[in-house]
Structure 1
């Protein structure tokens, strides 16, 4: 599998990386159990910051596309193919859009929404 990063693309590099890995899994180019390059190796190969690759790997692990096996590395998750089409970012945006629409319908101002959101994001659940 070849990953190509377009630095002129407005899509963040970590998102480009995630999308290409998800596409490769969905198209059977990365079958279950396939080892992935180390964060450092992939960052060097793509000439990007290792923190960018680490962020992509962390989010792919959250989405059950890859799994980390400690010092042995990262591998394609056994259930990866069934999770490739789940987009938590899109789902989050949809949920927040619905919530904001409900609040506005009740007369809550944008400023009040921002203050409440900021307060909740800074609190510990």
Structure 2
């Protein structure tokens, strides 16, 4: 897979590059455009302070970069398109709220893993 283009938000120039997050639109040579959230570690601390929390609540995964500078974002995205864009696709699908991951199928997969571990290591 190859990245054809990355579209940044119109407010990109005004973003705090060291403490922020943004959606980027990544077009690959498969013709699909993937919407991804890119954030900095500082933005997680800012969010927890703002909300009075000691954790980040469960949510779809973000691509985490030290800074939102385009060069860094592009380097990170290059790692997400390796292996036929496996991780880019996984993060993208995890962000869909329409039941992309069927709970019954997930339970079956977990049971299969449990069975294979029991076969290898004995009863847990």
TM-score by length of 2: 0.31
More strand by share: 2
More helix by share: 1
TM-score by length of 1: 0.31
